[in-house]
Amino acid sequence: MEAAGAGEGETMMRVISLMYHDVVDRGAQDASGFAGPEAGIYKIERRRFEEHLKAIDGAAHGLCTKVTELSNHRGNGAPFCMTFDDGGESAATVAADMLEKHGWRGHFFITAGRIGTAGFVSAAQVRELHDRGHVIGSHSYSHPTRMSACTKEQLCEEWGRSVEMLSEIVGGRVTVASVCGGYYSTAVARAAEEAGIRFLFNSEPTSRCGKVGECLVLGRCTIKHWMPASVAAALARGRMMESLKQRVLWEAKKVTKMVGGKAYVKLSRALLRKGKMGAGGGEL
């Protein structure tokens, strides 16, 4: 795993991005998106999500934008993007409606191989989200556990196949994507660029953007289900203290992932099954 744009050039551009996943009802964590406690860490209840949106709206002063329209941004502060990973059904049934009440459009990153399966968006829902003005992007084809460990051929297959599938659904070229599971590397970005992706979000909590060839690489702050609205608002506003907290945790986790490799994944899943991660902020 590497930092955004590691090994390539850094731009002067700053963009704040928040990473959400599914928006669910209490007790229905497995109804949308990937099932299980590991995915559940990132699934936020509908009531809390609305609290987040209200707080963010008050803090960010209407700077919410789409990454494809950054050149049109006219504001005193850094623009911010609302992003949603995995392609769970709640993107179309809950999250989009709630965003639109605030006049916003989100970025919905779809695991293409899951389209039309239980808990995930259908092709018709993907098309509808696009027609309503939301950004449709790739979240790979199969959602590999450790994307940065994939071979070049595997990466090209993951990005290329998903982009082709999604582009056909929306009737236009998909140029936006997000990396699975925080496993970013320059090789992941290069393969994305080869597939025609021009905006690639990873999970590094930074507002600084990098460039890998023609691909702009953007970081994101990760939202977990227990985070209060005040934290989401502070992150959207770029408040230093909250951003620093995310940065410290990210760096520690990055090192653990690099050293642990497959063992890290097995250990984290085992701890989640025993209820020792994700209850109130503890995460490897």
Could you report the per-residue pLDDT of 182-199, keeping only the tens digit for each?
Answer: 899 999 999 999 999 999
pLDDT at 245: 72
| Contacts of the segment 23-32: beta carbons below 8 A, 24+ positions apart | 23/49, 23/90, 23/94, 23/95, 23/98, 24/90, 24/94, 30/119, 31/89, 31/90, 31/119, 32/88, 32/89, 32/90, 32/91, 32/93, 32/94, 32/119, 32/120
Cβ pair 10, 76 in contact under 8 A: no
Could you report the per-residue pLDDT of 62-118, keeping only the tens digit for each?
Answer: 678 999 999 887 667 788 999 999 999 999 999 999 999 999 999 999 999 999 999
pTM assigned to the model: 0.86
CA 211 to chain CA centroid, nearest Å: 18
- Structure tokens belonging to residue 60: 């960010």
Q: Which residues of 140-155 are buried (b: 16+ CB within 10 A; e: fewer)?
A: bbebbebbbebeeebb
CA dist 149 → 101, 144, 154, 189, 251 (Å)? 40, 9, 10, 13, 19
Q: Is 181 left (phi over 0), alpha (psi -120 to 50) or beta?
A: left
CB count within 10 Å of CB 13 equals: 16
Name which residue leads in pLDDT, 222 or 252: 222
pLDDT surpassing 60 at residue 21: yes
Name which residue leads in pLDDT, 243 or 275: 243
Tell me the pLDDT of the chain averaged across its residues.
87
pLDDT surpassing 90 at residue 263: no
- Structure tokens belonging to residue 230: 């005040």
Give the Cα separation of 147 and 150 in Å (integer): 5
Coil, helix or strand for 229?
A: helix
Q: Strands 176-178 and 107-110, how do they pair?
A: unpaired
